[in-house]
Structure 1
Amino acid sequence: MLATSSDELSEVALQPGTGGVFSIEANGQPVWERKTDGGFPDITELKRRVRDVVCPERELGHIDRKGS
């Protein structure tokens, strides 16, 4: 994530938890929640969702073109 969005992200942090919790937030907004979204995201989907929160106008190159 830092390689793709280093100008937009000031930090990437991991917080240990228990009970099967796996969630990702960007700027305080939920990006992925294991129970709601069904498992764990692949990197392409995760990059797209983080981008949509932190800088929606930015293109992700080949990642955006694949879905078109």
Structure 2
Amino acid sequence: MATKPVIEIEYCPKCNWMLRAAYMAQEVLSSFTDEIHGVMLVPSEIAGRYTIRVADKEIFDRKRAGRFPEIKELKQLIRDLVAPDKSLGHSDKSPSSNI
């Protein structure tokens, strides 16, 4: 059996982004309890950094994207790597879907 991945959220403590990182960690843990080993919050030494990695693979960078990830988007990015067949319920529906 493969080792469960660790999700890493690296955030800028000088920017006061720890609460945002903790909230995202909580959301990830509640959605992927059985699929991941855990979530690690990493205070960055680089100002303005907010980067999310799955098993050392970067999946989101705030500076490159020009914004923070939406929770729905973050869950989809993680799901696609750790549990591609997992349903995310309402988070799977596209914004343009009115069904």
With structure 2 as the length reference, what TM-score do the two structures score? Answer: 0.62
What are the ranges of 5 or more consecutive residues in structure 1 without an aligned counterpart?
Answer: none
Matches within 5 A, 1:10-25: 10-17=37-44, 18-25=46-53
Matches within 5 A, 1:1-68: 1-17=28-44, 18-64=46-92, 66-67=93-94, 68=97
3-state SS of paired residue (1:48)? helix
Residue identity opposite 1:51 in structure 2: R
The separation in 2 between residues aligned to 1:53 and 1:30, in whole angstroms, is 11
Question: Counting strand residues as a fraction of each chain, which structure ranks higher?
Answer: 2
With structure 1 as the length reference, what TM-score do the two structures score? Answer: 0.87
CA RMSD of aligned residues (A): 1.2
Contact 1:27/1:54 (<8 A) preserved: no
Structure 1 segments (4+ residues) deviating >3 Å = none
The percent identity for this pair of structures is: 40
The separation in 1 between residues aligned to 2:65 and 2:85, in whole angstroms, is 24
